Amino acid sequence: MSTLTMMPSGKTVEVAEGTTLMAAIFGAEAAQAHKCDGSICHIFVHEGRKGLSKIAREENDKLDTIVGVGSKSRLACQAKVLGTENIKVELLNFTSGL
């Protein structure tokens, strides 16, 4: 288990190994319905990058199409928690009040 902290709200949740960040933020049902184009699920990982799955080619290709991508960028629907360390992310395009 890892603790996920969502900024700027500071809300925290416990996340099981193998869970995507999208599922941890919105719940598994919403994550399954999500069709990734990168515009909604782009986040910055400020702490715990080694506690996430490696960036796959598909995720990297989608990140290449997004304006404002940096070295801390990940797609919440693609990044899976490994359960090895706590994670702190900045939610960029989420409008649900998290």
Separation CA 28–CA 78 (nearest Å): 13
Q: What is the pLDDT of residue 94?
A: 62
What is the average pLDDT value for the chain, to the nearest integer? Answer: 86
Q: Say if 97 falls within a structural domain.
A: no
pLDDT of 31: 46
Answer yes or no: is 96 within a domain: no
Residue-range definition of the domain harbouring residue 31: 2-91
In the prediction, which pLDDT does 98 show? 47
Q: What is the mean pLDDT of residues 1-13?
A: 92
pTM of the predicted structure, to 2 decimals: 0.85
Does residue 35 sit within a domain? yes
2 closest CA partner among 79, 96, 91: 79
pLDDT category of residue 15 using cuts at 50, 70 and 90: very high
Other CB atoms within 10 A of residue 46 CB: 13
Q: In the chain, what percentage of residues exceed pLDDT 70?
A: 81
pLDDT, tens digit, for every residue of 23-53?
898 774 444 455 666 667 899 999 999 999 9
Provide the CATH number for the domain around residue 23: 3.10.20.30
Residue bearing tokens 């290449």: 64
pLDDT of residue 67: 86
